[in-house]
Structure 1
Amino acid sequence: MTSRTGAPRIDLHTHSTASDGTLTPVELVRAAGTAGLDVLAITDHDTTAGWAAAVGALPPGLRLIRGAELSCRWSGTEPAVPLHLLAYLFDPDHPELVAELARVRAAREDRGERIVALLRADGIDVSWPEILAGADGGTVGRPHIAQALIRAGLVGSTREAFGSDWLGERYRLPKDDIDVFQAVRLVRSAGGVPVFAHPRATRRGRVVPDELITELAAAGLAGLEADHEDHSPAERAHVRALAADLGLLVTGSSDFHGTHKTVQLGAFSTGVEAYERIVAEGVTEVASG
């Protein structure tokens, strides 16, 4: 793979307004072009809704990996550990995967409405219809509620909104995510490539044991996301060593959400060898501008 400006810049984890990002899919790919990226993956939560618009707006020289970030859980401990699986280049029309993603999106919306009801019961003036409108048809999640809290002047940032006094604990409710082994199976059956997102990010909360990742690798997991803003240097090194032991590919990416986060597009990059492995294993072709 050749780059426009030296070493290829490959960002395999970004979000648009199709889920909880602040840029539309069109704006996202244009921003990636401006940032000098060579490859971008669009990985909105539990949806492929942004794919068509992103492909149609690709600037010259930018390649697009179509993907999604699946909301998963591991039930090997109580309570279950929430985690995320990045799925790349899968068939968006695979019936079983389509049905499961629709179920998860419905569960997200139901949870969001129940969280808002809890907030309103405590006298906090946030509006569920306004939150839905702000999502603009995308997958609704806690970040949309966080924005409502910011607009109401109750918190100063998304990070504060996800603190223990708000959505991180007091007003946090579980949702019905996909069992992670089922998610790996579904992605593989849809011809996709599953990669565990930020697997060692202890600053986000509980993480799963290495033994689980070993079992997931045997079940079809393709890789681990190592270079991520929520991984410390030690955690990145741990993930890389584990991936090497298991023969898994390693990715790096920004997890860009626009103004919801301070991290910028291309903050972390994936190596060419890992990118080429993903392309070789996926059933959907890479789109080119």
Structure 2
Amino acid sequence: MAVNMAQASASSQITAQDQQALRQVWENIQPDSCPYSYNFHMHTIHSDGQLTPEELIDQALAIGLKGLAITDHHSVGGYKVAQNWLEQLQEQTFLDSSPSTCVPHLWTGVEITSDLLDTEVHILGYAFDPEHPSIKPYLQGKAPKQSDAQAAAVIRAIHQAGGLAVLAHPVRYRRSAEELIPVAAHLGIDGVETYYAYNNPTPWQPSPNQTQRVKQLSATYNLLNTCGTDSHSLSLLKRF
């Protein structure tokens, strides 16, 4: 039991440090931060993406990302493979004495289907402990049902696991961002995916009108701003 308690304490400490580091990044996020410096919304073959986790990390290195999160639907399988791949790369970089190779920071991430104001929305979780019992039910490869799907329950589970909760692409739903974001803020959401390319342009860039609307709401409700390509394709630089 003492060993388990020590492991839990160490895990909580790491998660808290990870969350604080991520919060600092988001506090300074800019419209051009994504997709060449940071990317917080990507999918692998562990949900509905086309890239393997290893391919995703290799692209992240080629792009020069400083930090990223894999946000597969209801799974951290891709994150775990990617984390192992990154650790191997870090070890190889150390052995090769190649300081020019910058290995990005990988945060835990997940995208959870949820219900907010009787509307299906997606809530992104970041920097949480994937082994925490509160988040485990949401990492089983399928969408939650009934009370577990309520936004309040999803946000609570992410927080209990030490993470940050973000409303994904808030201008893509049946209800408006002006309706959803205030309620999400009341429920304790930490941030909104402010910089998002709704019409999937090439090259990737945040949609200006939607971005302005979400930025105003995030400022009103003191929420963090995030960015991501929501990549499902073979390129991290676009959605599809």
TM over 0.5, yes or no? Answer: yes
- For this pair of structures, how many residues does the alignment match? 184
Percent of aligned pairs with the same residue?
35
State the SS of the aligned residue for 1:96.
Answer: coil
Whether the 8 Å CA contact 1:30–1:57 is kept in 2: the answer is no
Q: Which one of 197, 208, 212 corresponds to residue 168 of structure 2?
A: 197
Alignment-derived partner of residue 214 in structure 1: 182
Alignment-derived partner of residue 229 in structure 1: 197
CA distance in 2, matches of 1:238, 1:106: 31
CA RMSD, 1 decimal:
2.4
1:228 alignment partner AA: Y
- TM-score norm. by structure 1 comes to 0.58
Whether the 8 Å CA contact 1:46–1:69 is kept in 2: the answer is yes
Q: What are the residue-to-residue correspondences of 1:231-246 with 2, within 5 Å?
A: 232-246=207-221
Q: What are the residue-to-residue correspondences of 1:1-289 with 2, within 5 Å?
A: 9-58=37-86, 59=89, 60-61=101-102, 62-74=104-116, 76=117, 80-102=118-140, 105-106=141-142, 178-201=149-172, 205-230=173-198, 232-259=207-234, 264-266=235-237
Whether the 8 Å CA contact 1:184–1:221 is kept in 2: the answer is yes
Q: Offset at 1:56?
A: 1.8
Whether the 8 Å CA contact 1:81–1:208 is kept in 2: the answer is no
2:77 alignment partner AA: A
Whether the 8 Å CA contact 1:199–1:207 is kept in 2: the answer is no
State the SS of the aligned residue for 1:242.
Answer: helix
Q: Offset at 1:257?
A: 1.0
Greater Rg by CA = 1
- TM-score norm. by structure 2 comes to 0.69
CA distance in 2, matches of 1:33, 1:253: 16
Q: Offset at 1:266?
A: 4.7
Whether the 8 Å CA contact 2:46–2:78 is kept in 1: the answer is yes
CA distance in 2, matches of 1:82, 1:215: 14
Q: Which runs of 4+ in 1 moved over 4 A?
A: none
State the SS of the aligned residue for 2:75.
Answer: coil
Highest relative contact order (Cα 8 Å, sep 6+), 1 or 2?
Answer: 1
State the SS of the aligned residue for 1:85.
Answer: strand
- Are the structure 2 counterparts of residues 100 and 218 from structure 1 closer, same or farther at C-alpha, using a change threshold of 3 Å? same
CA distance in 1, matches of 2:143, 2:158: 20
Q: Offset at 1:235?
A: 1.2
